[in-house]
Amino acid sequence: MLGALLYRHPPSKKSISTQGTSGLPSARGSRQAPDPQSGMGGSRALLLLAQVLGLAATEMALLTTDPPWSTIFRGESVTLRCRGSQPSGQQPTTWYHNDKILARTATDTYRITNARQKQTGTYKCQSPGSVASNPITLIVSYDWLILQVPSHAVFEGELLCMQCRGWEPGSVTSVQYFRDGADITTRYASDKQLCIPRAETQQSGRYRCTGQMNSFLSVIKRESQELHVCIRELFSSPVLSVASSAETLEGSPLNLSCVTHLSPHSPRSILWYLFYRNGTVLRGPKTSSKYHVPMVGLEDTGSYSCEVRAENSSIWKQSAQVPIAVRRVPISGVSLDVQPHEGQVMEGQRLVLSCSVAAGTGFISFSWHREGSAEVLGRGTRYEIPSAQRDDDWALLLRGLQRGCPSPEPAAAGSRLWVSPRSSTAISEHRCCWQPWGPCCPGCLLSTSS
């Protein structure tokens, strides 16, 4: 031990970032996998089949270490493993140290034995059928005390564990853990490790540990190097996108998209989507981020949102609510038909008026009135005068009410008739002008002139 004391260096106080940008934690959150009976099992099988067919050929390789720590002591050993989209053995796996080719192996592993300080640095790998992995950092330490944190990327919702180790096994007592200078020992630490069950992005920071170590006849408090630990976002907060015009009309399609971005450092993660209206699930969980309604009705009016969940993770995120108001299709294309068609009517002759609309949703009711009178002469789009008389020289008013309009103001149409006792009266013109009688229900002014 005295020989070791001659060449050991005191701990450095600078912060070191040890985590690379690729990989998945070896431990996941406690959330159970979704129920296959709800459609998830089949969807996952399709995704796996796509990978088998080579659709994921550009997937990033995944580099992990065993043991899973970024810092080891001099003389210890570590195994690097490279996982890709294709089985190993068909082509060699390429290993990089500080961006230079380190080795090519027929297997997906590379072992470092009796580690030396010159082997400190960044490592990457490239497996058959995959692009190069993101780097991870390995530190070969000569310090008295080290803090061991995961070498792979840790995502929100996953288990984050770290441990404080001394140069000799069992030589450290009274261990304390710190994040950004604050003592977090009593909250998370056990006898051997500090574990955060479901890590959150705001728990990223600078971590270090301290401990009491025996040094000949005295006890000395030692401190590890400060390491930066980054808790990565697995996927971004979703945004509900409505692919339609500013106004959603009854009978039109409604297309919703739940937009989120999965971390490129976790390409194998599977996301599930749910869609809500007024807090009630409309569809999901499904692997599709789209929701389609072929024809909407007034009952589809409401506040819509979507939710995204990660499989095998406790993480779920919900979008902001988006109000969607479904409106009636306004009445349009109104036409007036007069019988007899030749436009001639004589006293005592039968006269029939009918009004039709080319467009407009919902139930439209019609009633006929004398102008200035509330008395209902008839209902429906057709009104008949069996025997036209001279005293029928009045204005006839057709009132149409479109159910579901926010304004109770009815639509109206007027037809002014003149009947001659001896000679025929030519109804030379009849026209239909749709005029606004409210924000939703327009009015139709129908007129005939001799």
- CA 241, 247, 248, 251 dihedral sign is negative
Residue 326, token pair as written in the block: 């479904």
* CA distance from start to end of the chain: 122
Residue 202, token pair as written in the block: 């705001």
* Nearest-angstrom CA–CA distance, 209 and 272: 39
Question: Which is nearest to 80 in space by CA: 164, 22, 157, 167?
Answer: 22
Asked if the 239-327 domain carries CATH number 3.10.620.30, the reply is no
Dump pLDDT digits (tens) for 392-407: 544 455 555 554 443 3
Q: What residue has token string 């009947």?
A: 419
* Nearest-angstrom CA–CA distance, 107 and 351: 95
* Nearest-angstrom CA–CA distance, 157 and 155: 6
Domain boundaries, the chain: 2-22+60-232, 239-327, 335-449
Give yes or no on whether 239-327 and 335-449 have one common fold.
yes
pLDDT, residue 360, reads 58
Q: What residue has token string 């934690």?
A: 25
* Nearest-angstrom CA–CA distance, 206 and 32: 31
Dump pLDDT digits (tens) for 95-139: 999 999 999 999 999 999 999 999 999 999 998 888 899 899 999
Dump pLDDT digits (tens) for 196-214: 999 999 999 999 999 999 8
**Taking the mean position of all CA atoms in its chain, how far away is CA 64?**
29
User: pLDDT confidence of 374, banded at 50, 70, 90?
Assistant: confident
Q: Which amino acid is at 268?
A: R
* Nearest-angstrom CA–CA distance, 355 and 380: 9
pTM: 0.63
Domain 335-449: give its CATH architecture: Sandwich (2.60)
CATH class of 2-22+60-232: mainly beta
